[in-house]
A and B are shown apart, each in its own frame.
Chain A
Amino acid sequence: MLEAMIRVHDLRKSFLQGDRPVPVLRGLDLRVGRGEFVALVGRSGSGKSTLLNLVAGLELPDAGKVEVNGVDLGALDDRRRTVFRRDSIGIVFQLFNLIPALPALDNVALPGLLAGRPRTEVEARALELLARVGLADRARAFPDQLSGGEQQRVATARALINDPAVILADEPTGNLDSESGERTLDLLRTLVDQDGQTILMATHDPAAARRSTRIVTLAEGKVREELPGERLAVPSRA
Chain B
Amino acid sequence: MTSIVRLLHWPFWKRSPLGVLLPALGVALGVAAIVAVDLAGASAVESFGDTLRRLDGRTTDRVTGTRVPDGLARRLAEIPGVEAAAPVVERMALVLPPGAWSGPDAEGDGVPGGERDGDPLRLLGIDPLAEREVRSLGVEPDDTRLLRDFMGRPGALAVSGAFLDRHGLEVGDSLELVVGAYRRSAFVLSRLPEEVGGARVPEDLAVGDVATVQELAGAFDGVDRVDLVLAAPEREAALASVRALLPTGTRLERPGAEAARFQRTLSAFRANVRALSYLALFVSFFLIYNSLLLSVLSRRQLIGVARCVGATRAQVLRGWLGEALVTGAVGVALGIGLGLLFARPALREVSRTASDLYGATGAATLSIVPGTLLKAAVLGLSFTLLSALLPALEAAATPPAHTSSRSSVEARARARRRWGPMLALPLLGACGLALGWPASGAVPGYVAAVCLALAAALLVPAAVDLLLAAFLSARFGKGWSLLRMAAANIRANMSRTGVALAALTIALSMAVAMGTLVGSFRAELERWIEVSVRGDVYVSPLGLEADRQGATLAPDLPERLRALPGVAEVATYRERPAVVRGRDTFLAAIDTEVARRRSNWSLLSGPSSVGSRGASPQASPDEFFDALERGEAGVSEALHRKTGVGPGDRIEVSLGAAALSLTVAGVYRDYSTESGVVLVDRRALARHGVDLGPPRSVALYLRPGVDPATVVASVRRTGGSELGLIVRTNQELRSRALAIFERTFAITRVLQMIGLAVAAIGILGALLAMLLERTRELATLRALGLTRRQLAALFLGESTLLATFAWLFALVTGGLLAWILLSVINVRSFGWALDYRIPWTTWAGSLAASLAAGWAATLWPLRRLGRMDLVPLLRDE
Contact = CB atoms under 8 A, between A and B. Distances in A.
Interface string B786-818: 111110000000000000000000000000000
A158 B784 contact: yes
B874 interface: yes
Contact of A97 (B489, B493, B777, B789): B777
A113 B481 contact: yes
Contacts of A99: 485, 488, 777, 780-781
Given A49-B875, A86-B785, A99-B777, A110 B481 contact: yes
A78 B485 CA distance: 23
Interface stretch (B38-46, B201-209, B472-480, B738-746): B472-480
Given A79-B789, A93-B780, A142-B407, 6 more contacts: A78-B787, A82-B787, A93-B874, A114-B790, A119-B476, A158-B784
Nearest to B484: A106
B492 interface: yes
Contacts of A76: none
A86 B784 contact: yes
B874 A83 contact: no
Contact of B488 (A94, A102, A113, A117): A102
Name the residue among B478, B481, B488, B789 with the largest chain A CB count within 10 angstroms: B481
B877 interface: yes
A47 interface: no
A185 B9 CA distance: 44
Given A95-B877, A116-B479, A118-B477, A101 B492 contact: yes
Contact of A101 (B479, B493, B776, B783): B493
A117 to B, nearest CB: 8
A115 B785 contact: yes
A117 B477 CA distance: 10
A87 interface: yes
A78 B783 contact: no
Contact of B405 (A87, A119, A144, A158): A144
Name the residue among B406, B491, B492 with the largest chain A CB count within 10 angstroms: B492
Contact of A114 (B407, B481, B776): B481
23 contacts: A58-B783, A79-B789, A82-B785, A82-B786, A86-B784, A86-B786, A91-B783, A91-B784, A93-B780, A93-B875, A95-B875, A99-B781, A101-B488, A101-B489, A115-B785, A116-B478, A117-B478, A119-B475, A119-B476, A144-B406, A144-B407, A158-B784, A162-B785
B200 to A, nearest CB: 65
Name the residue among A49, A78, A86, A115 with the largest chain B CB count within 10 angstroms: A86
A165 B655 CA distance: 96
Contacts of B477: 118-119
Nearest to B407: A144
B634 to A, nearest CB: 66
Given A97-B776, A101-B489, A144-B405, A82 B782 contact: yes
Nearest to A168: B783
Interface in B476-512: 476-482, 484-485, 488-489, 491-493
B871 interface: yes
Contacts of B786: 82, 86, 114
Interface residues on B, range: 35 or more
Q: Which 5 A-B pairs have the closest CB atoms?
A: A86-B785, A101-B492, A113-B481, A97-B780, A144-B407
Interface residues of A, number: 37
Given A101-B485, A114-B481, A87 B476 contact: no
Given A58-B783, A87-B785, A114-B785, A119 B478 contact: yes
Nearest to A161: B784
B488 A106 contact: yes
A95 to B, nearest CB: 7
B547 to A, nearest CB: 67
A208 to B, nearest CB: 17
Given A49-B875, A119-B476, A100 B406 contact: yes
A128 interface: no
A53 interface: yes
Interface string B404-415: 011100000000
A78 B788 contact: yes
A35 interface: no
Contacts of A78: 787-788
Contacts of B785: 82-83, 85-87, 111, 114-115, 162
Interface of B: 405-407, 475-482, 484-485, 488-489, 491-493, 776-777, 779-790, 870-871, 874-875, 877
Nearest to B789: A79
Contacts of A102: 485, 488
Contacts, number: 98
B415 to A, nearest CB: 16
A98 B779 CA distance: 11
A12 to B, nearest CB: 17
A99 B786 CA distance: 13
A90 B442 CA distance: 66
Nearest to A56: B783
Nearest to B480: A119
Given A100-B407, A116-B479, A118-B477, A83 B871 contact: no
A118 B782 CA distance: 21
Contacts of B407: 100, 142, 144
Given A95-B877, A114-B790, A59 B871 contact: yes
Contacts of A106: 484-485, 488
Contacts of A113: 481
A215 B95 CA distance: 97
Given A59-B871, A99-B777, A118 B783 contact: no
A111 B485 contact: no
Contacts of A58: 782-783, 870-871, 874
A49 B475 CA distance: 39
Contacts of A116: 478-479
A162 B785 CA distance: 11
A175 to B, nearest CB: 10
Contacts of A53: 871
A114 to B, nearest CB: 6
Nearest to A90: B784
Contacts of A101: 485, 488-489, 491-493
B784 A110 contact: yes
A87 B480 CA distance: 19
Contact of A118 (B478, B779, B784): B478
A99 B492 CA distance: 10
Interface string A104-135: 00100011011111110000000000000000
Contact of B783 (A79, A85, A87, A100): A85
Name the residue among B485, B491, B777, B780 with the largest chain A CB count within 10 angstroms: B780
Nearest to B408: A144
A162 B781 CA distance: 15
A82 B789 CA distance: 11
Nearest to B784: A111
Contacts of A100: 406-407, 492, 777
B406 A97 contact: no
Contact of B875 (A82, A94, A111, A144): A94
A78 B786 CA distance: 11
A49 B872 CA distance: 10
A49 B786 CA distance: 21
B62 to A, nearest CB: 75
Nearest to B476: A119
Nearest to B491: A101
A55 B249 CA distance: 102
B476 to A, nearest CB: 7
B589 to A, nearest CB: 72
B435 to A, nearest CB: 41
Interface string A123-160: 00000000000000000001010000000000000100
A91 B874 CA distance: 11
Nearest to A117: B478
A182 B457 CA distance: 51
B476 A114 contact: no
A179 to B, nearest CB: 23
